[in-house]
Amino acid sequence: MRRNQVAVVGAAETTELGVVPNASQLQLHADAALNAIADAGLKLSDIDGFATAVETPQQVCHYLGIKPTWVDGTSVGGCSFMLHVRHAAAAIEAGLCKTVLITHAESGKSMIGKAPRSIPADSLQGQFEAPFGVYGPPSMFPIPVLRFMKTYGITHEQLAAVAVVQREWAAKNPRAMMKDPITVADVLNSRMIAYPFRLLQCCLVTDGGGALILTSADRARDFPRKPVYIMGTGESVETPMVSQMETFNSSRAFKTAGPLAFKEAGIAHKDVDHLMIYDAFAHLPLFGLGDLGFMPHEETGKFIADGNTRPGGKLPLNTNGGGLSYMHSGMYGMYALQESVRQMRGIAPAQVPNAKISVCHGVGGMFAASGTIVFTNER
Amino acid sequence: MAEPQRARPKPTPETQHFWDGTKAGELRLQRCDACAHVYFPPRPFCPSCASRKVSIFKASGKGFLYSYVINHRPAAPGFTPPYAIAVVELAEGPRMMSNIIDCPQTPEALELDMKLEVAFQALDDKITLPVFRPAKG
Ligand SMILES: [Zn+2]
């Protein structure tokens, strides 16, 4: 794909985030969509392309009254929205549609109008993982951590520092769920969830949603908001079974999607002003920093523990507070994208001064899938 | 009301030989006749070279502890926390999820790279699960 041909011209989250007991999951989609359409100064009838995950495009389009000529229902977990951005940019460039709306919403906490996740007993996961006691992401996502720690000499304190630093960012964000400062000791003394991870190293469970609107860069100039250009994109999948990853020392999906996006954008790591790495659990930023090529994996724990990613650090990371402290409705990728767009617009609560390039890296499932988007505010 | 049951695998045509094997006290893997790749989970073709000529064989049952978590909460139905969910790397190469028996479920006792050997745990008269214990000697 050619860089900077497509731009984000509308971006918004749901009116409320956190615990939203007065709306179904479908209504949260609509709330996010209507906020994004207002942000872009558009009408619903202007939308001719639509993408969403978990809920089907037909469900959300019918509810909103949208009549699309292009749809994408890619549903690969929490990074689905990164893939939607990539696919939408390609579709707009190919002339399949002009204005794409991407929605995410999840009633992750209140569970209103949300189908339960289930693993069929005759699926490969049902046969070769479920019988051994995995039960939701906290029991699965951290399974690679001990091997990763041993291979690279990463310490428990360094993995605790991830949560501490992200809480510092969250403290600057009025919409963050958790804002009180925490220490490494607080993290290491919090309730054990799945050794080696404790409560403060696991993401929040909340309700909310978000939506993006994309159009061609040429049209983007006529919109009320400062356009945020899609500079580079990447995607991949590996396996739905965490036990079957090629290695626990890195993520193959990360190592495919990340470099693709950097190459397409034509940027080097030193060009990155702002970084989002989907942090469902505390080890993900370490995998991300290594797999995206910012530094060898060995250095990632020390890099974060030394404060390089905290406010004022040289590589601002997860500046909304992340899935650990901002919000996590189950599929956090949309919120990471929203924060990248805010940073590129210059309106983030914890704004990185003069940030021009933002990299937004997502994970789906337990390292099952990945999507990376490079944004810029300069064409 | 009955106690909540541990998740019970339901074999498919492609995996039946594996579950027949564990019931007979064998850990069965597959090897490609064309390129010798050994793989898991079961399927009737080679995921490395796409050959449909593959053979089922009895694995050694030996391996080592590749990684694990000790799950505290929420516990899966049929499990009493804390319990380890392990990934074992088999001597033949593939890895599989399992549980570790005859071993305290603690970080001190569960050392990465410790040698393991397969054991079999009958869930009922149809399904037997492959689990692992610290290797003797
Ligand atoms: Zn082969």
Q: What is the pLDDT of residue B104?
A: 98
Mean pLDDT, range A43-70, rounded to an integer = 97
Has residue B9 been placed in a domain?
Answer: no
- Residue in this structure with the two tokens 């100064």, named with its chain if needed: A41
pLDDT, chain A, mean: 97
Q: What is the pLDDT of residue B137?
A: 66
Has residue B2 been placed in a domain?
Answer: no
Mean pLDDT, range A24-38, rounded to an integer = 98
**Number of structural domains found in chain B:** 1
Quick: pLDDT tens for A346-366: 999 999 999 999 999 999 999
| Residue B38 three-state SS | strand
Which residues have a beta carbon within 5 Å of ligand 1, which is an ion? B 32, 34-35, 37, 46, 48-49, 51
Closest CA to A203 of A227, A229, A170, A225: A170
Has residue B59 been placed in a domain?
Answer: yes
Quick: pLDDT tens for A279-296: 999 999 999 999 999 999
Quick: pLDDT tens for B44-59: 999 999 999 999 999 9
Has residue B7 been placed in a domain?
Answer: no
Has residue B22 been placed in a domain?
Answer: yes
- Ordered by where they begin, the domains of chain A are 6-113+204-376 (3.40.47.10)
Helices (runs of H) and strands (runs of E) counted in chain B: 1, 8
Quick: pLDDT tens for A220-259: 999 999 999 999 999 999 999 999 999 999 999 999 999 9
Q: Do A133 and B15 touch (CB under 8 A)?
A: no
Cβ neighbours of residue A235 under 8 Å, at least 6 residues apart? A82, A83, A86, A256, A257, A260, A369, A370, A371, A372
Q: Do A134 and B123 touch (CB under 8 A)?
A: no
Q: What is the pLDDT of residue A330?
A: 87
Q: What CA–CA distance (Å, rounded) separates B63 from B95?
A: 9
**Domain range for B130:** 16-134
Has residue B11 been placed in a domain?
Answer: no
Q: What is the CATH number of the domain that holds B122?
A: 2.40.50.840
- Chain A contact present for B9, CB below 8 A: yes
Q: Do A131 and B6 touch (CB under 8 A)?
A: yes
Q: Do B72 and A241 touch (CB under 8 A)?
A: no
**Rounded to a whole number, what is the distance in Å from the CA of B26 to chain A's nearest CA?**
16
pTM over 0.95: yes
Quick: pLDDT tens for B74-118: 999 999 999 999 999 999 999 999 999 999 999 999 999 999 999
- Chain B contact present for A295, CB below 8 A: no
Rounded to the nearest angstrom, the distance between the alpha carbon of B59 and the centre of ligand 1 is: 18
User: DSSP per residue over A225-241, as a string?
Assistant: SPPEEEEEEEEEE--S-
| Residue A44 three-state SS | helix
Q: Report in angstroms the alpha-carbon separations of A140 from A121, A130, A193, B60, B74.
A: 17, 10, 11, 27, 12
Quick: pLDDT tens for B3-35: 678 999 999 999 999 999 999 999 999 999 999
Alpha helices in chain A (DSSP H): 25-40, 57-64, 80-94, 124-128, 137-140, 145-152, 156-170, 184-189, 217-220, 252-265, 284-291, 297-305, 322-325, 333-345
Residue in chain B lying closest to A134 (CA): B76
Contacts of B71 in chain A (CB under 8 A): 133-135, 138-139, 194
Say which amino acid occupies A30: A
- Asked if A177 contacts A335 with a C-beta cutoff of 8 angstroms, the reply is no
Contacts of A138 in chain B (CB under 8 A): 71, 73-74
Has residue B126 been placed in a domain?
Answer: yes
Q: For residue B126, report the phi and psi dihedrals to the nearest 5 degrees.
A: -105, -35
Quick: pLDDT tens for A119-171: 999 999 999 999 999 999 999 999 999 999 999 999 999 999 999 999 999 99
**Rounded to a whole number, what is the distance in Å from the CA of A137 to chain B's nearest CA?**
10
Has residue B66 been placed in a domain?
Answer: yes
Residue contacts between A and B (CB atoms, under 8 Å):
123
ipTM at complex level: 0.97
- Asked if A30 contacts A64 with a C-beta cutoff of 8 angstroms, the reply is yes
pLDDT at A305 over 90: yes
Q: What is the pLDDT of residue B1?
A: 45
Q: Do A195 and B72 touch (CB under 8 A)?
A: yes
